[in-house]
Structure 1
Amino acid sequence: MELKKSLSEYTEAEFKRLVQEISEDIGTEKYQDELIGHFRDLVNGVGGADLIFYPEPGADISAEGIMNTVKARCEAKGLPGFKSRF
């Protein structure tokens, strides 16, 4: 998977794929560490890796749910969100 520099460079589909690779523990331990660190850096201002590993009670922890949480929190804080598909 190509890791991009900022959240605004990811489409929603690409971001969901990143979350899925982390959640499904795909690849080596080193690769997982890289993905988790990258995820944490991308969404540090809106919850970081806690969104996956320590979610709030009742949170939707699917890739779609995490993406929606990030999207909503970025909008609420006026932060750049995902890249448009078009």
Structure 2
Amino acid sequence: MEKNITSYTQDEFLSLVRRISIDDYPTEQEHIDAVLLFEKLTEHPDGSDLFYYPDDPADATPERIVEIVKQWRMSQGLPCFKD
């Protein structure tokens, strides 16, 4: 897995978020590692709460999570996806 969000296309990152959302990992540790990677990549202050404790339940979809991350990174002047 890549270590920087700019190494991912938006679709590749969406795939990671989808896998986390549906817990598509063979072990609990791999799922935890994916969540930790998400937090490291995004640097978003809400981290994994975007999945588990969203402000609005409608924001808990993979597509919406990616959009929230993208908007936040842009608002902070941080680079985003490679595409």
CA distance in 1, matches of 2:17, 2:64: 10
The answer for the alignment partner of 1:8 in structure 2 is: 6
RMSD over aligned Cα atoms = 1.4
Question: Is the CA contact 2:14–2:63 (under 8 Å) kept in the aligned structure 1?
Answer: yes
| Structure 2 stretches lacking a partner, 5+ long | none
CA distance in 2, matches of 1:45, 1:57: 16
Question: Is the CA contact 1:46–1:73 (under 8 Å) kept in the aligned structure 2?
Answer: no
Q: Which runs of 4+ in 1 moved over 6 A?
A: none
Q: TM-score, normalised by structure 2?
A: 0.88
CA distance in 1, matches of 2:35, 2:57: 22
1:53-81 CA-partner distances (Å, limit 9, x unpaired): 11112542111111110111011110111
CA distance in 2, matches of 1:23, 1:59: 14
Q: TM-score, normalised by structure 1?
A: 0.86
Q: What number of residue pairs does the alignment pair up?
A: 82
Residues 63-74 of structure 1 mapped to structure 2, 5 A cutoff: 63-74=62-73
| Structure 1 stretches lacking a partner, 5+ long | none
Residues 31-70 of structure 1 mapped to structure 2, 5 A cutoff: 31-70=30-69
Identity of aligned residues (%): 37
